């Protein structure tokens, strides 16, 4: 049986998620939104004390946990400079060269949102020596946030309610053209939207579960401990996350990737073979790929935490990971086909 993603519904869901800032640890708004949507479909849910959503999707026997993460990389206020600019530091693997000239939203303690832009000290071509313009952007030395406010001192900034520790989120710049999806944070909101599609199809009876399935949306993947909580009856753990495109990678923006290895471990060979069989049965266009030296999924910390589980991972080929990312609806559709076939087998 071939399982097809509802493209219109999927893109609407993805755009809604992209509009909600959720830098790692800043989970409340997105969690509340997703809980409302999932409980509206009739599924039993509970939340983790640290933040995260667990869903009982149904089915019986041989429990499988499927996870995607709702947290994103971002920034946090590090220091308020005397001239009213703001020094920031990264949350997760966000590098300054991926933020230059990006618009941002600062979330204050009082829930006020103040906008700004990431700039370099030596940003103007006409008044900057060539050597300075060629400097690599760096949050410690030459990259900071300029507010869209009339501020000229640290006191002016603090009067707006901004303080050290406030989250700074990049605007996603979500857009779709000819099936290509471009945005910050395709990693991993695109796969959260895929899981929402699966829940819709389970509810509507289009996907009939062949085993007990939990859906887990974590909010700490980008700093390494999102996947460390697992229901005690789970036997298998499947992460759905982006597959990074690079010079020596087989991943493609139009295909689903079955992960063989990441920077931590090889994925379970038996589970990997089952996923490949599911891809073939579903008619999905897929490749196998390995990701080193800087990649991991939420399935990895579950093993480190000591759970006796098999782990696997699949996901859409995605360009420019942790930057302004791009994938194609075909890759997400192929990912959905494998996922639906695997939970239904």
CA distance 342 to 345: 5
Dmax over CA atoms of the chain, in Å, equals: 68
Q: How many CA atoms lie within 13 A of 212 on its CB side?
A: 12
Catalytic hit among 13, 197, 221, 253: 221
CA distance 134 to 130: 6
Q: Given the DSSP bridges, would you call strands 74-80 and 86-91 parallel, antiparallel or unpaired? A: antiparallel
CB atoms near residue 113 (< 10 Å): 10
Active-site residue flag, 221? yes
Token pair for residue 290? 């390995």
162-to-85, 115, 120, 146, 154 alpha-carbon distances in Å: 11, 11, 20, 13, 10
Q: Do the beta carbons of residue 26 and residue 107 sit within 8 Å? A: yes
Active site residues: 221
């Amino acid at each position: 049986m071939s399982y097809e993603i509802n493209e219109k519904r999927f893109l609407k869901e993805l755009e809604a998620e992209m509009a909600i800032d959720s830098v790692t640890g800043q989970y409340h708004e997105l969690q509340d939104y997703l809980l409302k949507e999932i409980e509206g479909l009739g599924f039993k849910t509970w939340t983790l004390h640290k933040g995260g959503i667990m869903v009982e999707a149904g089915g019986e026997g041989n429990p499988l946990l499927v996870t995607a993460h709702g947290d994103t990389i971002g920034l946090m206020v590090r220091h308020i400079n005397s001239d009213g600019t703001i020094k920031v530091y990264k949350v997760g693997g966000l590098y300054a060269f991926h933020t230059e000239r990006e618009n941002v939203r600062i979330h204050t303690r009082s829930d006020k949102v103040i906008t700004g832009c990431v700039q370099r000290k030596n940003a103007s071509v006409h008044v900057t020596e060539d050597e300075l313009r060629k400097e690599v952007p760096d949050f410690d030395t030459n990259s900071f946030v300029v507010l869209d406010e009339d501020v000229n001192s640290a006191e002016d900034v603090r009067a707006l309610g901004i303080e050290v520790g406030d989250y700074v989120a990049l605007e996603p710049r979500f857009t779709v053209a000819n099936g290509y999806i471009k945005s910050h944070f395709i990693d991993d909101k695109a796969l959260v939207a895929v899981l929402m599609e699966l829940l819709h199809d389970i509810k509507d009876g289009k996907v009939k579960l062949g085993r007990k399935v939990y859906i887990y949306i974590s909010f700490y993947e980008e700093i390494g401990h999102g996947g460390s909580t697992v229901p005690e009856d789970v036997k298998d753990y499947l992460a759905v996350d982006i597959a990074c495109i690079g010079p020596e990678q087989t991943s493609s923006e139009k295909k689903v990737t079955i992960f063989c290895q990441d920077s931590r471990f090889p994925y379970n060979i038996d589970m990997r073979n089952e996923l490949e069989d599911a891809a073939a049965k579903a008619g999905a266009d897929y490749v196998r790929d390995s990701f080193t030296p800087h990649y991991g999924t939420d399935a990895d910390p579950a093993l480190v935490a000591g759970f006796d589980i098999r782990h696997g991972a699949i996901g859409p080929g995605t360009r420019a990971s942790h930057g302004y990312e791009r994938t194609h609806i075909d890759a997400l559709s192929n990912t959905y086909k494998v996922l639906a076939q695997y939970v239904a087998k």
